[in-house]
């Protein structure tokens, strides 16, 4: 319907193309103002007429059209009222497609997404959930639009922190304790190192020396480092499995350590490197940024050098059209420096194709998290706690429900994910259990329950099959039309979420659909004796369930069939 109106306007407005008309066409805030509205302000300058007169002229030029009930001029707006039954039929047909919400815009294109990326030998805490949840949703959204997405877990598995950990292990740790307690023991050693180093700064010198040994290929140093990394990966993968997430590549910082020499040589050849207090830097003062440190005075590299090497490797290997970095807001300057250095190296594609996707802080009941002082909440613990709390609610409300453990997992994990993705990613997130696990209001369990209710209604009519003849008159009432209007927005919402790198647009959309469905369901009995009435309304139930489930999957949330 929208496209048909765009075509009408295109034929009857001189000097404007369909591509220019499309973004101007609006959906009015109230149904009595029409189904679509076109503002004529922009035409006033070129046509030398008042917008209201222009609207009237366009209305007369269009005349009567089969699919339109009427066209009205309201001030500077041209309001289109689509024939109700035609409108309902077109919306049902649009939403019925198996690939509704998908597109082929990304066909033949690759996007790299760098996300999650925990620091090895540090436990996967609740703060890491944000990058993991946001990145996974962006992967699903771009895949929906036809892109090939490379999911990259850029593990923090190289750097001076490993020198610190080796020193701590050598001084205060034991093989038995690490093997028994795993990453928890490594964290205790890491925290102790920082406390001891406050009183004895020579420990930091020892740590730097151990890292230099790692960079130079020292067998003992690399053996201990690899052991720490293997222990960490086992625990990380257990958390990813709980979340239902996977990665294509676990290529952390260490993967690029033999690729940094090329970067340093390229920077030197292009005259971008200067020496400052023995270290090699790229001066970015002309761009109002601090210098980018490339190589320390002891000859070791830093994570910025490895990020530069990673970009070159990914561009050559995957030929990405975009490379997205999902990290905290506090890394904004770091990525601005890295991207600018890549551009200065002669890569004109950098400003458009390299994108930092920042997000706000995460806290538990307002307590900020930190790994240095030990104030951490483990992600696995919070996920299991969510599952446990959901199971308690289910034991109380529906004790005989079969498959409770799996349902509790889907609802508990879904609650955490939805809570994280319900607001713009730049906003801080505070986990409060009474909000996260609420079955009412704008929450994950409420969204999942909408699908469960649809599935339950459909089970009550085993002879119903979507795709038969539909009496569109039955579903032309206000609540039904409002629900359909929400459903058909889905492809546009998916596209906007990708363009703005904002999964919250999907979660808000799901809530809008859920609210519209509840209104429809409260105003219309579905499982009635009249088969034509029942099947027409069942068709809306079917479409709602299908789209809600698909949208929640884009957030990384699974839908149970019962709750």
Please tell me the predicted confidence (pLDDT) of residue 376: 63
Percent of the chain topping pLDDT 90: 79
**Active site (annotated) includes residue 128:** yes
- Please tell me whether residue 424 adopts helix, strand or coil conformation: coil
- Helix axis angle for 219-243 and 202-215, nearest 10°, is 90
**Active site (annotated) includes residue 154:** no
Please tell me the predicted confidence (pLDDT) of residue 21: 93
- According to DSSP, the residues that pair with 293 across neighbouring strands are 281
Per-residue pLDDT band for 369 (boundaries 50, 70, 90) equals very low
Please tell me the predicted confidence (pLDDT) of residue 370: 45
Where does 402-503 have alpha helices with state H?
404-421, 433-436, 444-459, 478-487, 490-500
**β-strands 429-431, 362-364: how paired?**
parallel
Looking at the predicted structure, is the pLDDT value of residue 364 above 70?
Answer: no
Q: How far, in Å, are 179, 332, 449 from residue 443 at the CA level? A: 40, 30, 10
Pick from 438, 263, 258, 428: which is nearest to 330 by CA? 428
Answer whether CATH 1.10.4080.10 is correct for domain 2-82: no
Per-residue pLDDT band for 280 (boundaries 50, 70, 90) equals very high
| Domain chopping of the chain, boundaries | 2-82, 115-368, 379-555
Please tell me the predicted confidence (pLDDT) of residue 207: 95
Element containing residue 110 per DSSP (H, E): strand 110-114
Q: Which of 59, 84, 104, 125 is catalytic?
A: 125
Looking at the predicted structure, is the pLDDT value of residue 164 above 50?
Answer: yes
Per-residue pLDDT band for 438 (boundaries 50, 70, 90) equals confident
**Active site (annotated) includes residue 356:** no
Backbone φ and ψ for 152, nearest 5 degrees, come out as -115, 125
Q: Which of 70, 128, 170, 296 is catalytic?
A: 128
Count of H-run helices and E-run strands, the chain: 23, 13
Does the pTM of the predicted model rise above 0.85? yes
Q: Which of 109, 122, 170, 432 is catalytic?
A: 122
Between residues 187 and 114, which one has the greater pLDDT? 114
Average pLDDT along the chain: 92
Per-residue pLDDT band for 160 (boundaries 50, 70, 90) equals confident
In this structure, CATH architecture of domain 115-368: 3-Layer(aba) Sandwich (3.40)
Answer whether CATH 1.10.730.10 is correct for domain 379-555: yes
């Amino acid at each position: 319907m929208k496209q048909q109106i765009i075509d009408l306007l295109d034929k009857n407005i001189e000097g404007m193309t369909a591509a220019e008309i499309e973004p101007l066409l609006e959906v009015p805030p109230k149904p009595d103002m029409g189904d679509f509205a076109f503002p004529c302000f922009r035409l006033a300058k070129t046509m030398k007429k008042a917008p209201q007169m222009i609207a009237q002229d366009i209305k007369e030029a269009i005349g009567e059209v089969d699919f339109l009930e009427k066209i009205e001029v309201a001030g500077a707006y041209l309001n289109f009222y689509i024939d109700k039954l035609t409108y309902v039929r077109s919306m049902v047909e649009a939403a019925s497609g198996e690939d509704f919400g998908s597109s082929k815009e990304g066909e033949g294109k690759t996007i790299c997404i760098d996300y999650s990326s925990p620091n090895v030998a540090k436990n996967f805490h609740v703060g890491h959930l944000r990058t993991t949840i946001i990145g996974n949703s962006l992967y699903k959204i771009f895949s929906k639009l036809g892109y090939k997405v490379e999911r990259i877990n850029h593990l923090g598995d190289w750097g001076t922190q490993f020198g610190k950990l080796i020193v701590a292990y050598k001084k205060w740790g034991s093989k038995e304790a690490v093997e028994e307690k795993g990453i928890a023991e490594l964290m205790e050693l890491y925290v102790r190192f920082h406390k001891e180093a406050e009183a004895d700064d020579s420990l930091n010198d020892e740590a730097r020396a151990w890292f230099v040994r790692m960079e130079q290929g020292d067998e003992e140093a690399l053996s201990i480092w690899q052991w720490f990394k293997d222990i960490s990966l086992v625990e990380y993968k257990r958390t990813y499995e709980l979340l239902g997430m996977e990665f294509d590549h676990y290529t952390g910082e260490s993967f690029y350590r033999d690729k940094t020499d090329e970067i340093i040589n390229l920077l030197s050849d292009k005259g971008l490197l200067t020496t400052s207090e023995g270290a090699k830097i790229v001066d970015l003062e002309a761009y109002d940024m601090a210098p980018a440190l490339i190589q320390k005075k002891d000859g070791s590299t830093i994570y910025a050098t490895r990020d530069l090497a990673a970009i070159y490797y990914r561009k050559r290997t995957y030929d990405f059209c975009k490379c997205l970095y999902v990290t905290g807001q506090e890394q904004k300057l770091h990525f601005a420096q890295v991207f600018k250095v890549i551009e200065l190296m002669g890569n004109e594609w950098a400003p458009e194709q390299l994108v930092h996707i920042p997000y706000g802080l995460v806290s538990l009941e307002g307590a900020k998290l930190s790994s240095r002082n030990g104030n951490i909440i483990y992600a696995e613990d919070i996920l299991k706690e969510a599952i446990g709390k959901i199971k308690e609610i289910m034991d109380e409300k529906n004790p005989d429900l079969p498959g409770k453990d799996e349902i509790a997992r889907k609802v508990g994990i879904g609650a955490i994910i939805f809570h994280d993705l319900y607001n713009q990613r730049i906003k801080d997130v505070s986990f409060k259990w009474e909000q996260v696990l609420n079955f009412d209001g704008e929450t994950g369990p409420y969204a999942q329950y909408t699908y469960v209710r649809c599935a339950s209604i459909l089970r009550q009519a085993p002879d119903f099959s979507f795709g038969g003849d539909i009496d569109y008159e039955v579903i032309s009432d206000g609540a039904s039309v409002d629900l359909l209007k929400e459903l058909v927005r889905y492809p546009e919402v998916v596209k906007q979420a990708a363009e703005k790198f904002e999964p919250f647009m999907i979660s808000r959309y799901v809530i809008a659909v859920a609210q519209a469905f509840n209104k429809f369901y409260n105003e219309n009995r579905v499982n009635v004796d009249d088969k034509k009435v029942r099947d027409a309304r069942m068709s809306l139930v079917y479409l709602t369930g299908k789209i809600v489930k698909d949208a929640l999957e884009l957030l990384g949330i699974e839908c149970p069939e019962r709750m």
